[in-house]
Amino acid sequence: MSASITYLPESGTFFLQSQNTAYAFRVIDYGYVEHLYWGPAIEPQALGQFQAWRDRAFSPNPVPSDRRISLDWLAQEFPANGNTDYRSPAVELFQPADGSPICDFRYKSHRIEKGKPSLEGLPATFAGANDATTLILELEDEKLALKAELLYTVFSDYPVITRSARLSNSGKDTVQVRRLLSASVDFSSNYADYQLIQLSGAWARERDLIASPLRPGIQSLDSKRGASSHQQHPFIALAELGADEEHGQVFGFNLVYSGNFLASVELDSHKIARAQIGLNPHSFCWKLAPGQSFQSPEAVLVFSPNGLGEMSRSLHRFYRGHLINPQWANKPRPILVNNWEATYFDFNADKLEKIAKAGAGIGLELFVLDDGWFGKRNDDTTSLGDWVVDRNKLPGGLEDLVARINGQGLQFGLWFEPEMISRESDLYRAHPDWCLHVPGRVRSEGRTQLILDFSRREVREEIERQMSAILRSAPITYVKWDMNRHMTEVGSAALPADQQGETAHRYMLGLYETMAYFVREFPNVLFEGCSGGGGRFDPGILYYMPQIWTSDDSDAIARLRIQYGTSLVYPLSAISAHVSVVPNHQIGRVTPFATRGDVAMTGTFGYELDLGALSPEDKQTAVEQVVFYKKVRGLLTSGDLYRLKSPFTSQESAWIVVSPDKKEALATHVTILAEPNPPVTYLRLRGLAPERKYRVEGTDEIYCGDALMQIGLLLAQPKGDFVSVKWHLVAVD
């Protein structure tokens, strides 16, 4: 089904259609915009038969002469503050001229355009004229002379709608924007039987999948940390109670933003569920002067009638096609070795070359030099902000080291933490006011570092100058962009007192501008996002950086949960995963080398250890892993993921990746804790072509696709804990 947006003037209804999905609202009497429907595709004519307005006690009427309508119970597209709606608003303004927080937006006009506009200063999904259609709905608060433009885009090949909002001040008075969410959807009464799904956790155990039944009142999650964070994630879903990977309706919301966010669901006394996502209003206040506009980040809304699995695959395909840089979206990524857990800060050129040589010996393609190569960085207390090569460690500079690494047949990558500054640095001594701070307050530190004020152009220009000089000094093909602390004392020396509430968002706008600069200036560099692992794994970063270090916890068993939760929203090509040493440096667990490899292959694959210290057996296993990954990485980059067993509900984890043409698949099963004398069990697969036959590569075994999905593959009794097995299936013509 092609994307289409239809306006029915006789009823004032807007009907948005994309792949097997419909979304509808209408302009009712007095200019209010009523949400009608979001779900499986239906005929537009059916919508008018299901509206029920009624006079309700203690629900005031914005038009006193018409008791049929109250915003207290009306399903709305853009609920505002202070005008008979007691629920959480999508927009809240403050007018210093009269001290009022009231706003009242009503329909003014609309236009429908082919394609999709970009959002000024913000990352957003993109589409060509033939791939999408956009509705721009203009609302107005006449008293304030404020215009609100609601942007809706539908896509031809995906059950996805993107939404955002833009406020423009056409009046004579400055107003303060205290809340502007990107999407607000009011669901009808049957959604009381739904559950809220969220991805929450902490450093080293990011994105646990948590489901909670809806209850009266507000259930919310947010970040006030200046980053999307390890603790919460800018994603929620409403799913039918009992929904699983294959069954049940699911409505997903994901925010294309990397800073403070709010996501919430409010179930009111009439069983209407209001789901919202957008900028966190906490400590946010934007001064909107006459003639100025303010744009919210974009929200991605996705619908699945067939459970969480279909929702995930829709988002994976959509992000590969309309968010990730097209140069990298479906391009296999190089297999790398990172020196961090092998050396930490203690290295020299000879030691690094030795690791690279060992990597070349097993077929790796990229060596990454992590923290410690710059300034006087022998521990984490100094030198952030001084992006100059430490000649004590690397006397020949990067030019010499890169030449030596290239001489081993490997590309070279480098770690940066551009947003941070150490007190013990030349940059801080020269510009102590360049960090985020509030005069007269203590400058809190995390990891012995402060945060540069990226809302300031001169700060960004200095970091861009230093980093560009490094990147131009040698053939560097990969950058790991880290960020290792969250914001405190959020203030800017460059902003007046009445604009300090803008600092955190202006920081993000500045960060995005800098990231755009590097992507533009160094188009052939593969950028990987990182924030102490997965602390900023979000669509905003993914727009600039096609892969993200998923967690600092590289333990294979812990990664089962982390990668499972991450895959709920993001494609495997974005999930950076490495084999590391045992006992694991984060939790001390010992797991088989083969299992570590099988788990890490559920993402962009690499190693994070001293390859020269491997036993002969592990080295041979590594050689086999690299050969195998090169054989299947095209499948893993662009294939469809089906989660088969959840590590959240069992002592197993299993998944299968199937090529779009269903001619190839890779299934993996991991036993977490083995069971004595277990029953005979089979792993039922999904996503295959039932009419095809598949051979298990490396064997003479051939199975029918329908049998693999109805019966499955026999699971052998595991010999110990943490054991994995994989099957590479290829269709037999």
Structure confidence by residue, pLDDT tens digits, 672-691: 999 998 899 999 999 999 99
More confident residue, 62 or 621: 621
Give the pLDDT confidence score for residue 63 in this predicted structure: 87
What confidence tier does 59 reach under pLDDT thresholds 50, 70, 90? Answer: confident
Q: Does 329 fall in a domain? A: no
pLDDT tens track for 519-537: 999 999 999 999 999 999 9
Buried b (16+ CB within 10 A) or exposed e, 57-74: eebebbeeeeeebbbbbb
Beta strands in 591-722 (DSSP E): 604-608, 640-645, 652-658, 664-671, 681-683, 693-696, 702-704, 713-715
pLDDT over 90 percentage in the chain: 91
- The last residue of one of the domains, among 592, 611, 638, is 638
The pLDDT score that the predictor gives to residue 262 is 98
- pLDDT for the residue numbered 120: 94
Residues 615, 713: one domain? Answer: no
Q: Residue 43: its pLDDT value, please?
A: 83
What is the model's pLDDT at position 370? 97
Identify whether 327 is part of a domain.
no
Q: What is the mean pLDDT of the chain?
A: 95
Mean pLDDT of 704-717: 96
d(CA 345, CA 339) in angstroms, rounded, equals: 9
Q: pLDDT band at residue 189, thresholds of 50, 70 and 90?
A: low
- Of 185-199, 368-382, 449-463, 528-542, the range with the lowest mean pLDDT is 185-199
Q: How confident is the model at residue 1 (pLDDT cuts 50, 70, 90)?
A: low
- What pLDDT does 188 receive? 77
Question: Do residues 26 and 161 share a domain?
Answer: yes
Mean pLDDT throughout 452-475?
Answer: 98
Give the contacts of 65 (CB within 8 A, at least 6 positions apart).
none
* Shared-domain flag, residues 395 and 503: yes
Contacts of 388 (CB under 8 A, 6+ apart): 374, 375, 466
**Predicted local confidence at residue 52, as pLDDT:** 61
Residue-level pLDDT at 105:
97
Q: Which among 322, 344, 375 is the end of a domain?
A: 322
User: Are 676 and 624 contained in the same domain?
Assistant: no
CATH number at residue 727: 2.60.40.1180
Tell me the average pLDDT across 373-377. 97
In a domain, 330, yes or no: no
pLDDT on residue 48 = 62
- 316 in any annotated domain: yes
Distances in whole angstroms, Cα of residue 340 to Cα of each of 346, 448, 528, 536: 9, 19, 15, 20
Same domain for 296 and 347?
no
Find the helix packing angle between 503-521 and 457-473, rounded to 10°.
Answer: 30
Q: Are residues 124 and 74 in the same domain?
A: yes
Domain extent for 100 = 4-322
For 177-184, what is the mean pLDDT? 98
Q: In the structure encoding, which two tokens stand for residue 517, read together?
A: 């600069």
pLDDT digits (tens, 9 = 90+) for 147-164: 999 999 999 999 999 999
Predicted pLDDT at 51? 62
User: How many angstroms separate the CA atoms of 559 and 661, rounded?
Assistant: 29
Whether the CB-CB separation of 155 and 315 falls below 8 Å is answered with no
Is residue 643, in this structure, part of any structural domain at all?
no
Give yes or no for residue 640 having a pLDDT over 90. Answer: yes
As a whole number of angstroms, the distance between CA 82 and CA 105 comes to 11
Give the span between the Cα atoms of 650 and 596, in whole angstroms: 19
- Kindly state the average pLDDT of the residues 282-311: 98
pLDDT in tens, 376-399: 999 999 999 999 999 999 999 999
> Is 645 a member of any domain?
no
Q: Are residues 56 and 197 in the same domain?
A: yes
Do 565 and 691 share a domain, yes or no?
no
Structural domains in the chain (count): 3
Cα–Cα distances in angstroms (integers) from residue 673 to residues 127, 517, 722, in the given order: 46, 48, 6
The interaxial angle of helices 556-567 and 593-600, nearest 10 deg, is 10
Query: Both 269 and 367 in a single domain?
Result: no
Within 13 Å and on the Cβ side, how many CA atoms surround 596?
Answer: 23
pLDDT confidence bin for 298, thresholds 50/70/90:
very high
385 in the same domain as 348: yes
pLDDT digits over 66-88, tens only? 888 889 989 999 999 988 999 99
Between 139 and 64, where is the model more confident?
139
Let me know the angle formed at the C-alpha of 288 by 285 and 289, rounded to the nearest 5 degrees. 140
Beta bridge partners of 110: 137
- Which residues 6+ apart lie within 8 Å of 342 measured at CB? 355, 581, 608, 609, 610, 611, 613
> 687 with 623, same domain?
no
In a domain, 616, yes or no: yes
pLDDT at 733: 81
CATH number of the domain encompassing residue 273:
2.70.98.60
- On whether both 381 and 499 belong to a single domain, the answer is yes
Instruction: Tell me the catalytic residues.
Output: 482, 552
Q: How many CA atoms lie within 13 A of 68 on its CB side?
A: 7
Domain boundary among 322, 347, 364: 322
Around Cβ 246, how many Cβ atoms within 10 Å?
Answer: 12
- The yes-or-no verdict on residue 49 having pLDDT over 60 is no
Per-residue pLDDT for 50 more than 90? no
Residue 239 lies in a domain: yes
With tokens 């706008």, the residue in question is 509
Q: Give the strands of the sheet with 13-18, arranged side by side.
A: 4-8, 13-18, 21-27, 33-40
